[in-house]
Amino acid sequence: MGIILFLLKIVVVRLKLKFNPFRIYSITEYDQYKTFPVLENDTLKFLRNSIESQIREGFMFPERMIVIGDRGIGKSSSLFFIRDLLEKTGDVNVFMFTQLITDSTDFFNQTKINFDSASQKTMFLLVDFPDTIIPSQFKKFLEHIWNLMTHRNYKNINLVFAMNPSHYNFSFSISELLGKFTTRNLIRMTREETERLIKLRLSLAGNKDFFEDKIYDLIYKYSKGIPRNIICACNSLIDPNIDKDKISLDEAKEIIIDTYAEKIIKDRVDEEEEREELIGIYNLIRNFFNGKVISQTMLSNECKSKLALGTNKTLKLTKLLVKFGLLNSYREGERNHIKVLSTT
């Protein structure tokens, strides 16, 4: 009996997570990507096929591609995915930028490599657009990209960008250049992809079955399939339960309901005042309106009364909450004439 109990204890210890694999949920460095590889969904399969075709064809034709998606959907990870594929070939120069390059001097300052010598070999320029862009800088960037596309070594220069939809749409007020690129929209994950992503990370920490099955439904319901939100939700669940070998659905619900929205807002918003305003609106809809608002006027009035927010500010902030995946926005009624905002 003593031996059996000893062996059972060993099994339990092995089931415990070695570490919290969701502590890093914003992949901003290549080393992080190598540690926490992304789930290869349909979009990444498309990117893989495009790059592998380039490799098979000997980079005969230059690649021009834009990955479009909202913040948190996996744009940076997609570029790291492409970088990883390319660097395994060993036959190309790969440069990744997190700010816009506006001329060859800018290229040299960021890489310490002369552009003309680098472009003698097949070269990929991967640009991960910053969240905030100055229009004048954007214009210079587009002009520089046109110069690259007409460069004497253009057949060697491949361009892959990742940007949010607003930046892509704004570019056409400056130039039609990005219309010459192939575009691929990153979309939210399905319920099945959400579970696969979570288990992929849990496996890194030694226990892919840490969550009960219904917890995946809970996480998907709140995260809306946004990868960064999925990771953030899992981090919230594991941090206080790291020493357990399993977490129950009831425990998960209590944590998610109490902490999830605030953590997402703090992750997405830098300005403290705006954070508090967003949290205030979310809690107002959740508590005062019982999670569902069917009157924009009533919401505006309550935000004005309880949070001292004007109508325009309320509209702007509720759009942000929808963008972050914290609110659902839809229409209902016989003619879909009622606009609804809900927390779940």
Tens digits of pLDDT across the chain (344 residues): 555 555 444 444 446 889 999 988 778 888 888 888 788 888 889 999 999 998 888 888 899 999 999 888 999 999 999 999 998 887 899 999 999 999 999 999 999 999 988 888 999 999 999 988 999 999 999 999 999 999 888 889 999 999 999 999 999 999 999 999 999 999 999 999 999 999 999 999 988 889 989 999 999 999 999 999 999 999 999 988 888 888 889 999 999 988 999 999 998 898 999 999 999 999 999 999 999 998 888 999 999 999 999 999 999 999 999 989 999 888 886 666 678 889 87
- The model carries a pTM of 0.84
How much is the pLDDT for 29? Answer: 87
Q: How far is CA 76 from the centre of its chain?
A: 7
Residue 255, H or E segment: helix 249-268
Task: Give φ, ψ of 16 to 5 degrees.
Answer: -70, 150
Region for residue 203 given its phi and psi (left: phi exceeds 0; alpha: psi -120 to 50; beta: otherwise): alpha
Q: Which two tokens stand for residue 142?
A: 């587009």
Euclidean distance between CA atoms 108 and 93, whole angstroms: 14
Domains assigned to the chain:
40-185 (3.40.50.300), 271-344 (1.10.10.10)
What per-residue confidence (pLDDT) applies to 91? Answer: 83
Tokens of 28: 């901003």
Helices 213-223 and 227-238, interaxial angle, to 10°? 130
Q: Where are the alpha helices (DSSP H) in 122-248?
A: 135-149, 165-171, 191-204, 213-223, 227-238
Q: Say if CB 256 and CB 215 are below 8 A apart.
A: no
Which pLDDT score, from 0 to 100, does residue 270 have?
87
Enumerate long-range contacts of 250-257, CB under 8 Å, 24 or more apart.
Answer: 252/211, 252/212, 252/215, 252/218, 252/219, 253/218, 256/218, 256/219, 256/222
Q: What is the pLDDT of residue 14?
A: 43
